[in-house]
Structure 1
């Protein structure tokens, strides 16, 4: 047993989720969620003896409903709900099958919304901060990631509105907009047919480590920030897109030229 407040982290078996578990373990009791329970227990077991593990396929609304019931039954004092889990694809829109778009949308948008809504009474009681790992792709188009951009745009709009509605009730929201981070989300990107993408990804700006990115997120949580743009280069790219979209599109098309190949 512990008197520490709870931090719920989805996608905790790797990447940003695993690193957040490491950096929050000393200050929070961890509720760690991932589809891969053995990997979750293997990598997170050494982090904290007070962790609880939940296996959940966030592409399934039924599985999320069961997860919500299991967490509600524990009546935890939730300090942080970190909606981190996500998937992406790297494929041109014209060759990306509908089921790929739907899966990306389910994991990256519908799952955070469903989990947050299902835990909302607990979140209000605990005055929780909801942390959503979005992406700069939610602010500007990125070639070969139309479905991912759409999901992150929806996440952005929903939780910006959610914040405005819930602030009077004490529920806060931090939206995080990283760019290119060295995590398995890109290594496991879907192809247009739903398999694994094998071609190298195109990037702009500096590739950031999970450790560096999570350190910025934890600082933003402690400061009480509402939005975090860890990579200033891509933040200014998003401003360029709004101020001079035709120039942004030309520059992106040149930088991401290899993505026009039908992999």
Structure 2
């Protein structure tokens, strides 16, 4: 029976992944900063095969608690899913630098540090790392400078790590969703670090988290290394590379309301 560790598991994509892996008979270790929400989710799944540890994913002490729980409660770790994340919606020049630091800490530094700490367990199981990136890491999106930077850094780090841990039998799946219907955008930070007061602009189709979870599990089972689930966003990233001026004009028109 596989053991799966999922960060950001109390809602959105993390919760849908937990539900999906639960139906596959996996042991689950779930973590989220929302302690009350996490406890509700664990109770819904049942305590026999699910354990929740709430905390701030940027805290290295939480990482050690999670990995210790994997080893002691379930005997190891087979799949690490770095899903927890935050975003912001704010013009770059108007944004408090503390917002950029927070986004980078959650979306980049935390998964990097947790993954490095988990490598001994993953080597033993010849396990797998799944990192939830974003198409925002492949192309610029107005009002998301910190998020784009963090997801780009995440992608580059795990692409390098992929080549270095393959000799240990550890597999890697990088996932690049576009816009999903999840709480990450409902809780997006504004320029002052408080919740953003304006709605989001989008590119492509807004997908449900349940749909995305199914795509991820299928990609894992198929042994894919990268998953680009939204074709229209993938094409937009190609447009950015081959015709950047045209891309900027289109994006600026689409996101104009957020810049006012």
Question: What 5-or-longer segments of structure 1 have no aligned partner?
Answer: none
Structure 2 counterparts to residues 188-199 of structure 1, below 5 A: 188-199=187-198
Report the equivalent of 1:126.
125
RMSD between aligned residues = 1.4
After superposition, the C-alpha distances for 1:201-254 in whole angstroms (9 at most, x for unaligned) are 001211100111111111001101000001000001001111111111111001
Give 1:64 deviation, angstroms: 3.3
TM-score by length of 2: 0.95
When structure 1 is superposed on structure 2, of 41-50 and 232-241 the one drifting more is 41-50
SS at match of 1:151: helix
Do the aligned residues in 1 keep the contact of 2:42 with 2:51 (CA within 8 Å)? no
Q: Which runs of 5+ in 2 are unaligned?
A: none
SS in 2 for 1:240: helix
Please give the secondary structure, in 1, of the residue aligned with 2:78. Answer: strand
Whether 1:200 and 2:199 are equivalent positions in the alignment is yes
| Whole-angstrom distance in 2 between the partners of 1:241 and 1:32 | 37
Q: Is the 8 A contact 1:8 1:32 kept in 2?
A: yes
Alignment match, 1:159: 158
Deviation at 1:67, TM superposition (A): 3.7
The number of residues matched between the two structures is 258
State the Cα distance separating 1:62 from its structure 2 match. Answer: 4.2
8 Å contact from structure 1 (residues 18, 44) kept in 2:
no
- In structure 2, the residue matched to 1:77 is 76
User: SS at 1:8's partner residue?
Assistant: strand
2:229 matched to which residue of 1?
Answer: 230
The alignment's TM-score, normalised by the length of structure 1, stands at: 0.94
Distance 2:59 2:22 in 1: 28
Residue 7 (structure 1) aligned with residue 7 (structure 2):
no
Matched, 1:19 2:16: yes
Residue 46 of structure 1 aligns to a residue whose secondary structure is helix
By how many angstroms is 1:76 displaced? 3.1
Q: In structure 2, what is the Cα distance between the partners aligned to 1:257 and 1:85?
A: 28
Corresponding residue SS for 1:119 = helix
8 Å CA contact 2:3–2:74 kept in 1: the answer is no
Give, in whole Å, the separation in 2 of the partners of 1:199 and 1:129. 38
Are the counterparts in 2 of residues 21 and 44 from structure 1 also a CA contact under 8 Å?
no
Say if 1:59 and 1:103, in contact at 8 Å, map to a contact too. no
Between 1:35-44 and 1:216-225, the stretch displaced more is 35-44
